[in-house]
Amino acid sequence: MKTIFDKTTRDELIARINNLHEGTAAQWGKMNIGQMVDHCIRYEEMMLGRIKCKRSFAGMLFGKMVLKSLLKDEKTIPQSMPTIPEIRIKNNSSCDIAVRKENWVALIEECGRRSDLEFIHPFFGRMTKEQVGRMSYKHADHHLRQFNC
């Protein structure tokens, strides 16, 4: 299974990120390209522990089961899954996409080099390093597919 901790997989994601540009349109969902990149930046910051999110009650009940289902195989994350409120991008920011892509790439590289990742996800709960690596890959892949990259 692909993981953010594998350099080849990280390089593949980075190449796909570098194919994004201002005019890239979403295949599904409500986000524009800037919102998607900002969302993915916030996701990686959350996984690195820089953004704190409140545990959801539904996550406490069903999180482990959903995580197990998402990570059991190579299938992609389904379209239009709910977003954690703290990393939802509401504004229609129009900053330079190139700068934001560099930020996302730097966060992916940083996450991929970490050996001490222990994380409590707001929906899935406590995650192992292996789960963090696979979920970070699947999340980035999901949004890159959303924008046909």
**Per-residue pLDDT in tens (0 to 9) along the chain, 149 residues:** 999 999 999 999 999 999 999 888 899 998 899 999 999 999 999 998 899 899 999 999 999 999 999 999 999 999 988 899 899 988 766 668 899 999 999 999 998 888 777 789 999 999 998 999 999 999 999 999 999 99
Total domain count for the chain? Answer: 1
Give per-residue burial for 28-46: e unless 16+ CB within 10 Å, then b: ebebbbbbbbbbbbbbbbb
In three-state secondary structure terms, 34 is helix
Residue 15, classed as helix, strand or coil, is helix
Q: How far apart are CA 23 and CA 32, in angstroms?
A: 9
DSSP label at 149?
-
CATH of the domain at 95: 1.20.120
Task: Kindly report the pTM of this predicted structure.
Answer: 0.93
| Contact (CB, 8 A) for 36 and 143 | yes
Domain hosting 100: range is: 7-146
Residue 2 lies in a domain: no
Residue 91 CA, chain-centre distance (Å), reads 19
Q: Does the residue 80 lie in any domain?
A: yes
Which among 12, 138, 130 has a CA at the least distance from the CA of 75? 138
The reply to whether 1 falls in a domain is: no
Tell me if 141 is assigned to some domain.
yes
133 in any annotated domain: yes
Residue 47 covered by a domain = yes
